[in-house]
Amino acid sequence: MTFADLGLSDALLKAIAERGYDTPSPIQRGAIPDILAGHDLMAAAQTGTGKTAAFTLPLLQRLAEGPRAPARQVRALVVTPTRELAAQVHDSAVHYGAHLPLRAEVVFGGVKINPQIARLKRGCDILVATPGRLLDLHQQGAVAFDALEVLVLDEADRMLDMGFIHDVRRIVALLPTKRQTLMFSATFSADIRRLAQGYLHQPREVEVAPANSTADTVEQWIYPVDKGRKPDLLSHLIRERNWHQVLVFSRTKHGANRLAKRLERDGIVAEPIHGNKSQNARTRALEGFKNGRVQALVATDIAARGLDISGLPQVVNFDLPNVSEDYVHRIGRTGRAGAAGHAYSLVCAEEAEYLQGIERLIRRSLPREQVPGFEPTEALPDSVSRQRSSSDRGTPGKRAAGAGRGDGTGQPRRRRRGRGRGRQNARVADSGQR
């Protein structure tokens, strides 16, 4: 199947060819016809599978067939959880709409609001926005939704996770009830389905990958190491393997700052990127990383959400995430669009439970590989599959594999509770969206 087979216009086909694509991905094959037909849609797909183009391309085609947006009005609204994702979606709309007479704008927090107000005065066909800044702009009378035709909730699961549900409800209440609504999410969880019931009308469903599965194009390794030697090991890997571009994940903002400084002392050009950084600083760090000036970009989960770096060869989990699903999103930054990728996790004994939770979630055992000279003083436990096999034979190991917790996830109870309000508040604070 080609993009022409999906019914896209010549202007869009030209823009797609200029971007170097010729074959639609599964999510694009599944979503584009339904969106062109005007159906509401629930779509679930792994990160890096062409999800943004799956709604951007048909959205541009439908808008091109109608009148331009009046002053301060918006015809299509795309709501995203983070600044970086908003910028990525906007770039996609601009590039794919290069041969169409449409205007796309993007607004998010962390930058001055007055230039955004000025740009919205003329109206726009597509507005990509984070929730907090969008509500601020509407409250100031800078944007109106009387002419709105389409609403897209991108990464809806992450917006729920980050505590944006109340802002999303406020936004939807401002919109015309007669509209097309598209919801894209990593999974069709119970919370997502409840959200969809309130906002979508008889939606079509497209799901192209099992929930919480990792892309087959990404090779994954676990490197056991003592916690205090993680910085030394990371520097060693970057130098010895000649990594010119590596995205490193830190669990905290302060940890990202410390690690970036440490890498700089080791002669590796590094920049941190997280919610405490100004938007200008985040943009400079990302651009430096893309153009090769920055060798290692050290990011928190929130800041890295939405990063689309073409051909990124590897990611490193300096710290394992304490929420297993974040592992899937992290390593999805590499191996995008069918390219090969590599994901390395530096894991100490204190993170054993997190590792077990990740292996349960993705339903596979991750290979352990020892780096000579960095042998840990305390070994990691066997993979989950080996522990299950041991448990089946009635030998010790069942408790270590997480039995008795009652949920089968392998997450510590305190972390499971953290997925509620406390985790939401922490994520909102880190995101800096408002």
Residue 206 clears pLDDT 50, i.e. is over it = yes
Q: In this structure, how many other beta carbons lie within 10 angstroms of the beta carbon of residue 364?
A: 15
How many other CB atoms are found less than 10 A from the CB of residue 287? Answer: 11
Please, is 112 exposed, middle or buried when counting C-beta atoms within 10 Å of its C-beta (0-12, 13-18, 19+)?
exposed
Torsion of CA 363, 306, 94, 38, to 10 degrees: 50
Rounded Cα distance, 58 and 42, in Å: 15
Using the 3D structure, point to which of 207, 233, 254 is the last residue of a domain. 207
Q: What pLDDT, on a 0 to 100 scale, did the predictor assign at position 311? A: 77
pLDDT averaged over every residue in the chain: 85
Per-residue pLDDT tens over the stretch 112-163: 999 999 999 999 999 999 999 999 999 999 999 999 999 999 988 888 877 8
The token pair at 216 is 């087959």
The number of folded domains in the chain is: 2
113 near 33, Cβ under 8 Å? Answer: no
d(CA 15, CA 25): 16
Q: DSSP per residue over 32-59, as a string? A: HHHHHTT--EEEE--TTSSHHHHHHHHH
CA distance 24 to 4: 10
Inside any domain, residue 118: yes
pLDDT of residue 373: 96
- Evaluate whether residue 212 is within a structural domain: no
Residue 199 in 3-state DSSP? helix
Same-domain check for residues 328 and 199 = no
Same domain? For 254 and 231 the reply is yes
Whether 117 and 152 have beta carbons less than 8 Å apart is answered as no
Domain shared by 395 and 364, yes or no: yes
pLDDT category at 218 given cuts 50, 70, 90 is confident
Statement: residue 47 has pLDDT above 70: no
pLDDT value at 49 more than 70: yes
Kindly state whether residues 309 and 168 are assigned to the same domain: no
Q: Read off the pLDDT of each residue in 268-294 and give the average, rounded to a whole number.
A: 89
In what helix (H) or strand (E) does residue 3 lie, and over which residues does it extend?
Answer: none
The answer to whether residues 232 and 142 belong to one domain is: no
pTM as predicted? 0.66
Q: Is residue 419 part of a domain?
A: yes
Residues in CB range of 118: below 8 A, 6 or more apart:
none
Please give the backbone phi and psi of residue 317, each rounded to the nearest 5 degrees, phi first.
-90, 95
Cα pseudo-dihedral 47, 53, 56, 58, rounded to 10: -130
Same domain for 176 and 247, yes or no, is no
Find the CATH number of the domain harbouring 59. 3.40.50.300
Residues 6+ apart with CB under 8 A from 195: 156, 160, 165, 168, 183
pLDDT, tens digit (0-9, with 9 covering 90-100), for 297-356? 999 987 666 666 777 899 999 999 988 888 888 888 887 656 678 999 999 999 999 999
Residues with Cβ within 8 Å of 190's Cβ and at least 6 positions away in sequence, in order, are: none
Q: Which range of residues forms the domain containing residue 313? A: 218-431
pLDDT of residue 341: 86
User: Which of 156, 185, 207 lies at the terminal end of a domain, its last residue?
Assistant: 207
pLDDT tens for residues 340-390?
789 999 999 999 999 999 999 888 899 999 999 999 999 887 765 454 444
Same domain? For 195 and 268 the reply is no
The answer to whether residue 213 is domain-embedded is: no
| Domain co-membership, 232 together with 372 | yes
* 318 part of a folded domain: yes
Predicted pLDDT of residue 186: 79
In 3D, which of 158, 165, 154 has the Cα closest to residue 41?
154
Last residue of a domain, one of 188, 207, 226: 207
Contact 127, 118 (CB under 8 A): no
C-alpha 2/C-alpha 235 separation (Å) is 44
Say if residue 191 is in the same domain as residue 256: no
CA-nearest of 302, 315, 418 to 357 is 418
Residues 124 and 253 in one domain: no
Q: By C-alpha distance, which of 432, 317, 322, 328 is closest to 81?
A: 432
Co-location of 184 and 321 in the same domain: no
Overall residue count recorded for the chain in this entry? 434
173 and 222, same domain (yes or no): no
